[in-house]
Every structure is written in structure tokens, then in C-alpha cells.
Chains A and B, each alone.
Chain A
């Protein structure tokens, strides 16, 4: 069990650029979640995968955001045409889904949009 990993850990980009983040969950975890955390706030749910199926998306996830989890393993979160308001920490969590299962969080990707 190597834990949830995220790459990159930090990303600085200019407004209007596209960025992509990767999350590698704990092996054999079937559920994968993305959250966003802004300064002084708790994490907010963005989207959720059960295996390769994206089953729920938050209203926070505008059409500039897209997430995938091909083959039910790693996941990517892409933001197109970034805006300064996208600056935040993007957290990934995985779990072995059953009831109130524990979600294991990665270290996050901190995005700064200039």
C-alpha cells in the first residue's frame, strides 16, 4: 500500500492555458473522488468515479472541467482555459467502496493561475 499519489504537486500557469492533473489511487480501490480546497475553506466535492464510470459531478464542475478514469485505475482532471478563480488545491481520494468507507487522500496538487 503506497498510498494515493498525485502529480504534479504544484502547477503555475497563465490564465487561459489548459492544465491536467493525475491521481493514482491505492491499488484495487474501486472508488475515486476529486475535491477542491481553497484557502481557508474545507475541501469541496467535485466528482466521483466507481471503477471507470463517472457517477456524479458537482455544480462546481463547469464545462471547462473534465475528468476521466480509463480502465478504472488512475484518473485525470483537466481544466481548460484556466481562470484565476481556479487557483486552489485539488485533492484526490480513493476508497474501497462499501457503506461509510474511509477515503484515503493524496497530498494534492496546488494550482496557481496568474
Chain B
């Protein structure tokens, strides 16, 4: 079985500061990993995904994540936070069963950006 652990249910940063959201995964097979963002009253939007190509993945809105197999981590970073980044962020790992790409999500990290 695959699982994802997101450390820190709430993270608060100042505008312009570094954003670091942590994600550790457990998988018995090489994983595919995803970061999604959810704004209030909206669906989830894909930020970026790792599919066994480059270990440093760049996504939308200036976010990036680095796959580290030795640490089983896929932390999300952004050099400079903006007020519009305030949202909930979910890390997910996929498992291929029955031909589909079922996602297993972490419990999410609420990012707050302060002036």
C-alpha cells in the first residue's frame, strides 16, 4: 500500500519569504508523485508532478519540488511567497490498479501568507 505524510497541517510565512511544505511518501514501487493546490470553494488544481524523469520538477506559479529517493521525500518550495499563494496544498502518490491511476492524498497543509 502507498501512503503520504504531510508534516505540518498549518504553515505561516511572511510575504516574500521562502515557502517549504513537506511531504514524505511510502511506496513499494517507484512512485509517481503530485502536488495539488485547493483554493476555497474550488476543486484541486495540479501544481506539478514527478514521473521518474528529472528529480527537480518545476510547476506553475513559481513552485518546484525535488524528489529524493533516499529520504522518500517530495517537498514543495517557492522562493518568495505571495498573498495569492494562501491555500491548502495536498501531496499525493499514485498507484496503478485495474488500469487506473488512483491517487492517495496526504491530509493537506494550509498555507497562510502574512504581510
Name A's B-contacting residues (CB within 8 A).
Answer: 4, 31, 33, 35, 40-45, 48, 50, 55-56, 91, 93, 95, 97, 99-108
Contacts and interface: CB of A to CB of B under 8 A. Distances in A.
Given A33-B100, A43-B103, A101-B101, A107 B45 contact: no
Interface in B83-102: 90, 92, 94, 97-102
Contacts of A91: 43-44
Nearest to A110: B41
Tell me whether chain B's interface is mostly helix, strand or loop, or mixed. strand
Contacts, number: 71
Contacts of B44: 43, 91, 93, 105
B103 A56 contact: no
Interface residues of B, number: 27
Interface in B34-48: 36, 41-46
Contacts of A41: 107-108
Given A31-B100, A31-B101, A48-B98, A42 B90 contact: yes
B103 A40 contact: no
Given A55-B98, A97-B101, A105-B44, A40 B51 contact: no
B12 to A, nearest CB: 17
A100 B33 CA distance: 9
Contacts of A107: 41-43
A4 to B, nearest CB: 7
B43 A56 contact: no
A42 B107 contact: yes
Contacts of B103: 33, 35, 43, 45, 103
A69 to B, nearest CB: 13
B51 A33 contact: no
